[in-house]
Amino acid sequence: MKRLCHKKNSLGNENGFTMIEILVAISIFAIGMLAVASMQVSGIHGNATANALTGAAAWAADRVESLLVRPYDHIDLDPAGNPHSGGTEGRYTISWTVTENDMMPNTKTIAVDVSYSDKGNPKNVSLIYYKSNI
């Protein structure tokens, strides 16, 4: 007849995680979550900067389009009135300068500048277009 031996579990042979292992795992997880949160903050700041730049470029393009459809001798295209002020649109200040016969005869160079402040730093978007007297 065979004897059945039952092994007793000793304290060193228990299955499962120790408290130290759990604390290490939670610490690694917390560091990873802090890194993700930091990336989110950087992404939000980047989006805000891109939004401000896009707005300035849109206002500059809008002003250029409105100036290009005006007659060649319009008061807004008079080089004597430099710099022309387009006023303020929200956080953006619009101005432009006009020079005549700069690149070639019967041509005006229109330089539109849109300035704004981003986190206390002055920023500027400039567009340069040419209008000919056809």
Token pair 């007297």 is at which residue? 133
Global pTM? 0.72
pLDDT of residue 17: 78
Q: Where are any strands of DSSP class E within 1-134?
A: 84-89, 92-100, 107-118, 121-132
Q: Output the pLDDT for position 10.
A: 54
Name which of 86, 102, 106, 105 is nearest 94 in CA terms.
86
Calpha distance 127→4 (Å, rounded):
92
Query: And the tokens for 86?
Result: 């387009």
How many Cα atoms within 13 Å fall on the side-chain side of residue 91?
Answer: 17
Which regions in the chain score pLDDT beneath 50? none
